[in-house]
Structure 1
Amino acid sequence: MRCSTPVPAESDKLKLDWTQWIWPGPKRVFSAIEMARAGQQPWPKSIDYYVYSNVFVLLAINSNVLARGLMHWAALLGLGLSWLALWVAKTLWREPTRRRLNLSSLATAAVMIGAALLLKFHPFGLGPDLERDDRKALTLIIVAVVTLAMISWFFLVLIRSQQIAGRLRELDEQALHLKLARRLASAQIQPHFLFNTLASVQHWVDTQDPRAASTLRSFTSYLRATLPMFERESLNLTEELQIVRSYLEVMQARLGTRLQWQIEVGAGVDESLWLLPPGLLLTLVENAVGHGIEPSLRGGSIMVMVTARPAEGQVLIEVRDDGAGLAAGAQDGVGLTNSRERLQLLYGERAHLTLTPLSPGCLARLQIQTLEPTA
Structure 2
Amino acid sequence: MSLKQTFGTWRAFFREVDWRLVFLTGPRHHFTPEQWQRLDRLQGISPTIKVAAWINVLTLAVVASLELPLAAAQMVFAGTLLMGLLTLWIAADLWRRPTQKRLFRAYGLSAFPLGAALGFLVAVMPEHWMQDRWNHEILIRGCAIGFFYSMATWALAMWRNEFMADWLHDEALREQKLELAQRLSSAQIQPHFLFNSLASLQHWVAVKDDRAAPLLQSLTSYLRATLPLFDRPLLSVGEEAEAVRRYLEVMQARLGGRLRFVLDIAPDAATAQLPPGVLLTLVENAVEHGVQPQLSGGELQLRAYLPAEGGLCVEVLDDGPGPSEALLQLPPLDPAAMLRDAQASLGLQNSRLRLWQAFGDQAELSLSHRNEGGCRAQVWVRTSPPEAQSRT
The TM-score normalised by the length of structure 1 is 0.74
Instruction: After TM superposition, give the deviation of residue 121 of structure 1 in Å.
Output: 1.6
Q: Distance in 2 between matches of 1:343 and 1:214?
A: 34
The answer for the alignment partner of 1:52 in structure 2 is 58
Unaligned runs of 5+ in 1: 1-7
Which residue number corresponds to residue 37 of structure 1?
A: 38
**Residue 366 of structure 2: aligned partner:** 353
Residue identity in the other structure for 1:252: Q
Q: Is the 8 A contact 1:119 1:135 kept in 2?
A: no
Residue 366 (structure 1) shift = 0.7
Look up the match of 1:303: 301
Equivalent-residue separation in structure 2 for 1:106 and 1:52 (angstroms):
24
Q: Distance in 1 between matches of 2:21 and 2:191?
A: 59
Which moves more between the two structures, 246-255 or 90-99? 246-255
Q: Counterpart of 1:278?
A: 276
SS for the counterpart of 1:260 is: strand
Shift in CA distance, 16/255, structure 1 to aligned 2, threshold 3 Å: closer
CA distance in 1, matches of 2:19, 2:324: 73
Deviation of the 1:327 alpha carbon:
9.4
Partner of 1:153: 153
2:97 to 95, 98, 107: 95
With over 3 angstroms needed to count, the CA separation of the structure-2 counterparts of 1:259 and 1:211, relative to structure 1, is same
Q: Is the 1:237–1:272 Cα contact (8 Å) retained in structure 2?
A: yes
Q: CA deviation at 1:315?
A: 4.8
**How many residue pairs are counted as aligned between the two chains?**
353
| Identity, % of aligned positions | 35
Q: Provide the C-alpha distance between the structure 1 equivalents of 2:175 and 2:59, rounded to a whole number of angstroms.
A: 43
Contact 1:306–1:315, Cα closer than 8 Å, also in 2: yes
User: Distance between the aligned counterparts of 2:79 and 2:327, measured in 1?
Assistant: 71
- Give the whole-Å Cα distance in 1 for the aligned partners of 2:362 and 2:296: 39
More helix as a share of residues: 2
Other structure's SS at 1:318 match: strand
Matched AA of 1:183: R
Give the equivalent residue in structure 2 for 1:319.
316
Q: Deviations over 1:274-299 (max 9, x none)?
A: 53x43222122212333444455544
Change (3 A) 1:320 1:87: closer
**1:287 aligned partner:** 285
Q: Are 1:226 and 2:226 counterparts?
A: yes
Q: Secondary structure at the match of 1:156?
A: helix
**1:190: how far off?**
1.2
Deviations 1:305-326 (A, max 9, x none): 2344425x56543323346x45
Give the match for residue 5 of structure 1. Answer: none
Counterpart residue type for residue 336 of structure 1? L
Aligned ranges 1:16-165 → 2 under 5 Å: 16-20=17-21, 22=23, 24-38=25-39, 40-43=42-45, 44-45=49-50, 46-64=52-70, 66=72, 71=74, 74-105=76-107, 108-109=110-111, 112-123=114-125, 132-133=131-132, 136-165=136-165
> Does the C-alpha gap of structure 1 residues 22 and 327 become closer, same or farther in structure 2, counting only changes over 3 Å?
closer
Q: Secondary structure of the equivalent of 1:33?
A: helix
- Residue aligned with 1:66, SS: helix
User: SS in structure 1 opposite 2:270?
Assistant: coil
User: In the alignment, which residue of structure 2 is the partner of 1:3?
Assistant: none
Q: Which residue of 1 aligns with 2:166?
A: 166
Deviation at 1:23, TM superposition (A): 5.5
Name the CA distance, whole Å, in 2 between partners of 1:75 and 1:328: 69
Partner of 2:334: none
Aligned residues of 2:204 and 2:210 also touching (Cα < 8 A) = yes
RMSD of aligned residue pairs (Cα, Å):
4.0
Task: Give the CA deviation at 1:356.
Answer: 2.8
Q: What letter corresponds to residue 35 of structure 2 in structure 1? A: E
AA matched with 1:290: E
Distance in structure 2 (CA, Å) of the matches to 1:329 and 1:66: 74
CA distance in structure 2 between the aligned counterparts of 1:199 and 1:176, rounded to whole angstroms: 37
Q: What is the one-letter code of the residue matched to 2:369?
A: T
Please give the per-residue CA displacement for 1:107-141, whole angstroms capped at 9, x wherever unaligned: 64465444323211213xx8x87675365455334
- 8 Å CA contact 2:64–2:77 kept in 1: the answer is no
- Structure 2: which 5+ runs fail to align? 1-7, 329-343, 385-392
Q: Do residues 184 (structure 1) and 184 (structure 2) align?
A: yes
With normalisation by structure 2, the TM-score equals 0.72
Q: CA deviation at 1:370?
A: 1.0
SS in 1 for 2:17: coil
> How far is the alpha carbon of 1:170 from its aligned partner?
3.3
Moved more, 57-66 or 186-195: 57-66
Residues 57, 81 of structure 2: 8 Å contact kept: no
Query: Which residue is equivalent to 2:332?
Result: none
Q: Is the 8 A contact 1:261 1:301 kept in 2?
A: yes
Q: Structure 1: how far apart are the matches of 2:57 and 2:154?
A: 16
- The equivalent of 1:4 in structure 2 is none
Supply the AA of the counterpart residue of 1:239: E
- Deviation of 1:351 (Å): 1.8
1:365 and 2:377 correspond? yes
State whether residues 233 and 278 of structure 1, in contact with CA within 8 Å, keep that contact through their aligned partners in structure 2. yes
Say whether the 8 Å CA contact 1:182–1:230 is kept in structure 2.
no
